Structure 1
């Protein structure tokens, strides 16, 4: 095997041919290179991973009688007379005969001599193309292939069909891919030999050749050995990057924060209920992590209402018990104030000083808080990203808890850790994510799962209601408001769009205000200035408004125990996970709560199935798995802002199992060879360069 050790500084020369310009390939000019770029293919390497999505069966038949109209047929024919076009640009017809039938080949804008040369009358040719019936006559319009009998062997039995963009034909793509395949280097094997043998995977170069030469539809399945191997390469490179980030974070000297149990004991005694087994388990995992001298980088994943706040506060108390401080960060001021309200009674029970810091703190008040923080008099700080500002100095920050709605990426997590001298990091997420996706998004972290509901959370009654019954729903609201209850009304879009007849939040706000009275209804949507949004939320939280009309800005974390009704308009346009999050906003107080999913009939089969799943279960993890199966990874978290990597080959829905294998393989490799210096390490560096995981390579070089 060639391609030995790789200097961490630059791409290994063995890969250079794959990273040249596309124009260096046969048949690719400037114009087609631009068309390829539309497909995300800008270098020969990208073409290797541009996989065919289907195949055409070119199996020869004796006669067109063996084929159905609309099918592709490959048949040997004797060429008959040419019938030239009657008018300019009209069809030229060439009569042909196979073993038993006569039919015609049709060409538009044909040049007579060229056609005669290609199909000389009286000679034998192999033609392959789509069989059609026109005016009762069998014909093939512009055959895909016309070959001499001696060239027949060059036609593959199954011809791959590639994705195209404007300006590309199958022939151009196939030729460019064939050119890229001639540049396949001989690379050392980076997959663990026992895994490769167990799965029956081919070598890398054999796998690349095989995916471009499928021998039937089965070879296109994600489970086909060549495809599975290439998908694994991609997932493994991704997980290695995350594992290297995790290793870098952990290598940063941590501080050991040992729990004494004195403060947490007081909090647990003050609770009117027993913590769930899941809460106890997660707290123990976090405390064990904090006690080591490595930096903690843990994800606390829990469904709506699973009691993450208590677990996070017990973690903050570990930092305080060890003589340090903790900070809890929320993405918005509303959520920061809410965290403060829910932590205040716990802090009082523990006798710990808690404070809030947001962008609103100014002047003397802010200066006093900063002084108390720097002196260590404030033990737990709750805040927005204002806590990142230069003048915010902690006396001894040991734990940072981050609310995931920040969409914190790996880079920001590393930055946050730098604020405290090696502070531990705990990220909380309320989005139940299927395991394969949580590994793709948070693979650099260790995960604690809260998969039980605390006692006392009442189930939310969920009903499907057609939007033809709007008046009844408004009447129901009128009665509820009269009884002193509060409700959310979620609308799909903010502005009227001609394309989508979704009623805008503004219109719904006006119609509900007319029905229920001035001052009863508030409005929040994404286009509002933040201060107006905060004011509208504050009115609702304080009970000054009874009904809050909103776009999905309320799905995150808002806690109004008195709100017991959730109306979601055009529910069929939302993702399951989103609907589940929205429903989680009610059912937090003493009252029976309902969630009305209003839909516009008729519902599609999948639309109906999605709403039924939601009606039948409140288990966020089951809902997320269903959502993934029905919608796919990109839609599930909205790929644009999800922080989810885009994979070319790997299919997260169908190859979820490979992601977990890739994670444990990556971690195991780094445990024995943290600098990727050994023989397999060198091969893996080659993979990282091939997969353009430059960040991973930088992390090794820093190491």
Structure 2
């Protein structure tokens, strides 16, 4: 399997083997990701020019592109080199002008000799009532008309590559289309009325009008589906691989879980109970669990995760909970400590800060099985960390973890189940693209007793009023966050923004009342500032967005977000979720600088009107697009060349179902459709998937 099928070789050859492509233009095409003939196939035209012949420019509604046969009349060179060189020409019904700037007369008299007939094609506009074609795109002699297509595709370009060259190279790449068998489910294909792969390629590169360019056109839709299907097949293979690596059966006895549930001052929500049941059931099976726990801010993910960790301990094994930062790991420790005491289990933390003898002792206890639940950062991945019997790994704040890391964790414990938690509500289409290899549990209910957060918009010109409001709240014993904007990407100016605000508030509210935390601080100072705020020693915490994820101070009931209009919706929602965790009424003040842009207004009003993270995420997706929403660079989100995650979200769900079904029916992809699917994976350069099949 690990060698590319021979029929695909021509598509993976050198670019410079294509018509018109030399080393220089090949290098230029490389700038936009075109490195071989296959890439040209997926580089589709975004527009089309109608070059059909007309009798006369009078038949067009100007301005428009017109193709017409003319007789060449007199030349009127300009007096200076930069002026307009005009040539009068006549079609079957009227005269008009061809206009050239910076023209060389000798060249034009040779190409357009007086009295000759030529086919000209270009944009015609009216100038002082006279139709003019400035710099025709095409000038052809009689008999050369066949060189001009009736419809000319317009491709996205890069410096050093002309439209003509791109079209010629694409046409040549299309001559190399191999014969491939069909990888799409036949019922799906006929229902959607999609063409075969090769026909779809030919049609997509030969649009005849705007309708042919739409994502809903059968040819384009089919090619988009192929991308989604290849992607979902890769995820499904990773999922099958995780599951095939024999899981360990962790039978829950309920002994420890019931102790914790009895001690809780509230009853878990229906969504929490369902998630706990799903996880307990998965862990009791011989297949490895690979589940995503998706819940909005404050939906109670920690309890669900802890119950899952208890299943591991009840079955005689160990569990680990991993967080992306030390602050979060310590916070998980604080959140889990009282629950662990109720259950009577041994809980420890391991971070990069553990050194020397202390670290050695922890590692020895872990290897002996004395530590039952470990909380940690990426330090848990290090070579010298060994578990006696790791049954479950819980990973917090997933989007910094791709499929590859999920496979990696599995190596720490043979057959360890994996539960991933994310507090970022993700629209379904994106969660399929990112987590298509996982089963999903959604916590979509708020625990009882969480009060709604009052959200208000206020202009930065009223800063003094906000500070006064804060003074009153502090006098009543309340605490507040004050989030400063990221002014630009340079951390230096972000720092000044936060430090200036800190000084301003300290002067207004008094020494010792205001704390500061930002990304440039040494970890120990950051923790100290957080601890002072958590213990209530400082009343106001000025921060850059480092507090976005997971910080929990129940007494903090005011959130001020300065220049809220420059934050993304999801981020604003996360920040707001830092308050409203205690018994006090909470407020979130969105301070904006006017005038607000239309997008800024929509973001802030959406936030003011709803606290539903999933609704907010859908709006965010509509407004910003998939790549921005989770930051394509670190999101593990694939980049599709043809498919559009927002416009074609429905196709992604079909692709997931289809991919999982194909692998259930044909796990090694050796049947007729399975073999065709292998061709698709090669075509789409899904090397990871190809490795999974060859190893699997």
Shorter-chain TM-score: which interval?
A: over 0.9
Indicate whether 1:315 and 2:291 are aligned: no
Q: Which residue of 2 aligns with 1:551?
A: 544
**Which residue of 2 is the match for residue 255 of structure 1?**
248
The answer (yes or no) to whether the contact 1:329–1:403 under 8 Å persists in 2 is yes
- Counting matched residue pairs gives 696
SS at match of 2:136: coil
| Contact map agreement 2:399 2:636 (CA 8 A) in 1 | no
Look up the match of 2:45.
52
The alignment partner of 1:399 has SS state of: strand
Match of 2:283 among 273, 287, 290: 290
Q: CA–CA distance in 2 between the matches of 1:627 and 1:428?
A: 21
* Cα shift readout 1:479-527 (whole Å, capped 9, x = no counterpart): 2222222111112226697999998222222222222222222222223
| 1:239 aligned to which of 217, 229, 232 | 232
- Give me the whole-angstrom Cα distance separating, in 2, the residues matched to 1:593 and 1:691: 50
How far 1:134 sits from its partner (Å)?
4.2
Q: Which moved more, 1:212-221 or 1:527-536?
A: 527-536
Matched, 1:626 2:619: yes
**Following the alignment from structure 1 to structure 2, what is the Cα–Cα distance between the partners of residues 527 and 78?**
73
**Contact 1:491–1:503 (CA under 8 A) maintained in structure 2:** no
Q: Partner residue of 1:617?
A: 610
1:263-412 matched pairs, under 5 angstroms:
263-405=256-398, 407-412=400-405
> How many Å apart are 1:385 and its aligned residue?
2.2
Seen in structure 2, the aligned counterparts of structure 1 residues 531 and 158 have a Cα distance that, compared at 3 Å, is farther
Q: Is the 8 A contact 1:496 1:503 kept in 2?
A: no
Distance in 2 (alpha carbons) for counterparts of 1:64 and 1:455: 73
Q: Deviations over 1:596-618 (max 9, x none)?
A: 11112122222211211111111
Match in the other structure for 1:3: none
Q: Do the aligned residues in 2 keep the contact of 1:494 with 1:551 (CA within 8 Å)?
A: no
| Cα contact 1:331–1:406 (8 A) shared by 2 | no
Q: Which moved more, 1:123-132 or 1:361-370?
A: 361-370
Q: In the alignment, which residue of structure 2 is the partner of 1:473?
A: 466
| Residue 14 (structure 2) aligns with | 21
Does the aligned pair in 2 maintain the 1:330–1:406 contact within 8 Å? no
Question: 1:302, 1:357 → 2: CA distance?
Answer: 26
Q: Distance in 2 between matches of 1:414 and 1:443?
A: 14
Is 1:83 the counterpart of 2:107? The answer is: no
Question: For the residues of structure 2 that align with 1:356 and 1:499, how far apart are their CA atoms?
Answer: 33
| CA distance, structure 1, for counterparts of residue 63 and residue 128 of structure 2 | 15
Checking the alignment, whether the CA contact within 8 Å between 1:354 and 1:378 is kept in structure 2 is yes
Question: Scaled by the length of structure 1, what TM-score is found?
Answer: 0.95
Q: Distance in 1 between matches of 2:317 and 2:152?
A: 66
2: CA distance, partners of 1:160 / 1:505: 51
Q: Do residues 491 (structure 1) and 459 (structure 2) align?
A: no
Cα contact 2:487–2:493 (8 A) shared by 1? no
Deviation at 1:366, TM superposition (A): 3.4
1:444 aligned onto 2:437: yes
Deviates more, 1:164-173 or 1:556-565: 164-173
The residue that corresponds to 1:4 in the other structure is none
Aligned partner of 2:415 in structure 1 is 422
Aligned equivalent of 1:649, options 639, 642, 646:
642
Confirm or deny: 8 A CA contact 2:294 2:424 kept in the other structure: yes
* 1:180 aligned partner: 173
- Partner in structure 1 of residue 116 of structure 2: 123
Q: How does 1:561-572 map to 2 (within 5 A)?
A: 561-572=554-565
Residues 296 and 425 in structure 1, CA contact (< 8 A), matched pair in contact too: yes
- Structure 1: distance between partners of 2:595 and 2:163: 40
**TM superposition shift of 1:654:** 0.6
Residues 569-580 of structure 1: pairs in structure 2 closer than 5 A:
569-580=562-573
Partner Cα separation in structure 2 for residue 496 and residue 633 of structure 1: 21
Matches of 1:648 and 1:173 in 2, distance apart? 17
CA distance, structure 1, for counterparts of residue 580 and residue 186 of structure 2: 52
Structure 1 unaligned segments of length 5 or more: list them.
1-7
Per-residue deviation, 1:133 = 3.9
Deviations 1:214-267 (A, max 9, x none): 111011111111111111111111111111111111111111001111211121
Write the distance in 2 (CA, Å) between the matches of 1:99 and 1:544.
Answer: 90
Cα distance in 2 for partners of 1:66, 1:613 equals 50
Distance 1:419 1:78 in 2: 80
Q: Aligned in 2, Cα 1:141/1:501: closer, same or farther, shift over 3 Å?
A: farther
Contact 2:71 2:116 in 1 (8 A): yes
Structure 2 CA distance for partners of 1:559 and 1:241, relative to 1, 3 Å: same
Deviations 1:334-367 (A, max 9, x none): 1112111111222222222222222333444434
Moved more, 429-438 or 461-470: 461-470
Aligned to 1:215: 208
523, 526, 531: which one pairs with 2:516?
523
- Is the contact made by 1:502 and 1:570 (CA closer than 8 Å) also made in structure 2? no
Once the two structures are TM-superposed, the CA of residue 310 in structure 1 deviates from its matched residue by 0.7
C-alpha deviation, 1:645, in angstroms? 0.9
CA contact (8 A) 1:493 1:503 kept: no
Contact 2:236 2:659 in 1 (8 A): yes
Q: Structure 1 24/495 Cα, relative in aligned 2: closer, same or farther at 3 Å?
A: closer
Task: Tell me what 1:669 maps to.
Answer: 662
Q: Secondary structure at the match of 1:52?
A: coil
RMSD (Å), alpha carbons: 2.1
Q: Which residue of 2 aligns with 1:189?
A: 182
Mean CA deviation greater in 386-395 or 628-637: 386-395
Residue in 2 aligned with 1:98?
A: 91
For 2:466 and 2:53, the matched residues in 1 are separated by 64
Indicate how the Cα distance of structure 1 residues 62 and 495 shifts in structure 2: closer, same or farther if over 3 A, else same: closer
The separation in 2 between residues aligned to 1:501 and 1:361, in whole angstroms, is 31
Change (3 A) 1:135 1:511: farther
The separation in 2 between residues aligned to 1:457 and 1:332, in whole angstroms, is 26
* Residues 74 and 127, structure 1, Cα contact 8 Å, conserved in 2: yes
Alpha-carbon distance in structure 2 between the residues aligned to 1:84 and 1:285 = 82
Could you tell me how far apart the structure 1 residues matched to 2:513 and 2:558 are?
Answer: 15
SS of 1:418 mapped into structure 2: coil
Distance 2:417 2:29 in 1: 45
